[in-house]
Amino acid sequence: MLTSLAIAVLVLLALQTIVVAIVAALRPTANIYVTIIVVSVTTAPLALLYGTHYVGEPLGSDGRLYFVLIHLALGGFLFHFMTLPDRSVTLRILVEVLLAPGQALSTRALGSRYGVKTMISSRLEQLSAGRFLEISGDRRIALTRKGRSFGRFVTAGRKLFGIASAN
């Protein structure tokens, strides 16, 4: 039983990963996290079908619910995994060095390829697209209500966990 469940987990994870990769290739500018959520939810009936017919003995109503939860949880893992290559500054630094001629890069060259201006401008664009802030023509930044809530949340979280400084 546990072996067939472990195989089922691998099948469901592979299914979601492949579908997400295909959708991302077809729509490269789409938000990858929205893609993962949509794929995970829309393929849940397939997981149910697979769990009901191909895992072994027939599943009861509770078992079917658990199977859908397993599928959605795997989508959640894919979501978290994606934050690593998509968001991590540290991983991007490693890739920049890997792609540099001779796989060696001066700190100055790293700064010009992936510097603070590029990083901040890009993040501000994303935060603006997410309606956390607005940037006016004279480059002033205004926090929206959503942005103030997020800022308050981060400030409270840092205080709660005793984080003095980050970034």
Partner 1 sequence: MIRLLLPLAGIVIFFLLSLVTVRILKPRQPRLFFLGYATLLLIVAAGVYVRLWPLASLDDGAGLLACLLLQTLMCLTMWNSFYSLLWGFSGGLMHDLYNEPDLRHVDRLVGSYEREAGLDRILSRRLPNLEAGGYIEVRDATIRLQLKGRIVALGTLAAFRIFSLGMGGGVNRLRDASAGR
Angle at 133 between CA 128 and CA 138, to 5 degrees: 90
Q: List the structure tokens of 166.
A: 């980050």
Compare residues 34 and 104 and give the one whose CB is closer to partner 1.
104
Binding to partner 1 by residue 92, rule CB under 8 A? yes
Token pair 């630094």 is found at 93
Q: Which two tokens stand for residue 90?
A: 């540290």
How many Å apart are CA 77 and CA 37, to the nearest integer?
A: 11
Closest distance to partner 1 from the beta carbon of 94 (Å): 4
34 lies in the binding site for partner 1 (CB under 8 A): no
Q: How far is the CB of 49 from partner 1 (least distance, A)?
A: 15
Q: Is 45 in the site for partner 1 (CB under 8 A)?
A: no
Options 14, 85, 112, 131; binder of partner 1; rule CB under 8 A = 85
The interface with partner 1 within residues 116-155 (CB under 8 A) comprises 116-127, 132-133, 135, 139-143, 147-148, 150-155
Is 107 a binding residue for partner 1 by CB under 8 A? The answer is yes
What is the number of alpha carbons within 13 Å of residue 90 lying toward its C-beta? 3
Give yes or no for residue 161 binding partner 1 (CB under 8 A): yes
CB 120 to partner 1: min, Å:
5
Q: How far is CA 59 from CA 53, 65, 122, in A?
A: 8, 9, 48
Q: How far is the C-alpha of 52 from the C-alpha of 48, rounded, in Å?
A: 6
